[in-house]
Structure 1
Amino acid sequence: MNKYTIRKMRKSEVEIALNWAAKEGWNPGLNDAQIFYDADPEGFFVGEYEGEIVAVGSAVCYDENYAFCGLYIVAPEHRGKGFGLALTKARLAYCEDRNIGIDGVLENVEVYQSVGYKPYYMNHRFTVLAKRNRAKNPFVREFKESDLQEVLSYDRQCFPAARQHFLRSWIYQENARVLLYFERDLLLGYAVRRKCVEGYKVGPLFADNEEIAKEIFLAIQDDIEGQKIILDVPGNNLPAMNLVKDFAMEEIFATMRMYQRDLPAISHEKIFAITTFELG
Structure 2
Amino acid sequence: MAATRVFRTLSAEEVALAVDWAAAEGWNPGLHDAQTFHAADPGAFVGCFLGDELAAVISVARQSAGFGFLGFYICHPDLRGQGHGLGLWQAALQRLDGATVGLDGVVDQQENYRASGFVYAHANTRFAVDPARLPQAGDLGAVPARMDAVHGLDAEVAGFSRISYLRAWLAQPDARSLMLMDGARCAGWGVARPCREGTKIGPLVAESAEQAEALFLSLAKGAAGPVFLDVPMPNAAAVVMAERFGMEAVFETARMYRGRAPQEDLARLYGVMSFEFG
Give the TM bin, normalised by the shorter chain. over 0.9
Contact 1:31 1:174 in 2 (8 A): yes
The CA deviation at 1:192 is 0.4
1:95-115 deviations in whole A, cap 9, x for unaligned?
Answer: 011000001112211111111
Aligned partners of 1:279, 1:121: CA distance in 2, in Å?
Answer: 16
Partner of 1:251: 249
Map 1:56-135 → 2, pairs under 5 A: 56-131=57-132, 133-134=135-136
Partner of 1:21: 22
Aligned partners of 2:274, 2:205: CA distance in 1, in Å?
Answer: 13
Count of residue pairs the alignment pairs up: 276
Map 1:123-272 → 2, pairs under 5 A: 123-131=124-132, 133-134=135-136, 136-138=138-140, 140-143=141-144, 147-224=146-223, 227-272=225-270
Contact 1:29 1:195 in 2 (8 A): yes
Aligned partners of 1:187, 1:137: CA distance in 2, in Å?
Answer: 17
Aligned partners of 1:202, 1:82: CA distance in 2, in Å?
Answer: 36
Give the TM-score, by structure 2 length: 0.93
Contact 2:201 2:227 in 1 (8 A): yes
Stretch deviating more after TM superposition (252-261 or 173-182): 173-182
CA RMSD of aligned residues (A): 1.8
Aligned partners of 1:39, 1:169: CA distance in 2, in Å?
Answer: 5
SS at structure 1 position matched to 2:213:
helix
Percent of aligned pairs sharing the same letter: 34
Letter in 1 for 2:233: G
The CA deviation at 1:135 is 5.2
Aligned partners of 1:173, 1:149: CA distance in 2, in Å?
Answer: 16
Aligned partners of 1:153, 1:219: CA distance in 2, in Å?
Answer: 22
The CA deviation at 1:50 is 4.2
Aligned partners of 2:247, 2:136: CA distance in 1, in Å?
Answer: 20
Runs of 4+ more than 4 Å apart: none
Partner of 2:33: 32
The CA deviation at 1:15 is 1.0
Contact 1:205 1:272 in 2 (8 A): yes
Partner of 1:11: 12
Aligned partners of 1:201, 1:34: CA distance in 2, in Å?
Answer: 17
The CA deviation at 1:165 is 2.2
Aligned partners of 1:102, 1:135: CA distance in 2, in Å?
Answer: 33
Contact 2:201 2:229 in 1 (8 A): yes
Change (3 A) 1:160 1:77: farther
1:158-180 deviations in whole A, cap 9, x for unaligned?
Answer: 22332222222221222111111
The CA deviation at 1:2 is 6.8
Aligned partners of 1:256, 1:35: CA distance in 2, in Å?
Answer: 24
Give the TM-score, by structure 1 length: 0.93
Letter in 2 for 1:270: R
Contact 2:159 2:265 in 1 (8 A): no
SS at structure 1 position matched to 2:64:
coil
Letter in 1 for 2:277: L
Aligned partners of 1:185, 1:149: CA distance in 2, in Å?
Answer: 11
Letter in 2 for 1:54: A
Gaps of 5+ in 2: none
Contact 2:100 2:261 in 1 (8 A): no
Partner of 2:44: 43
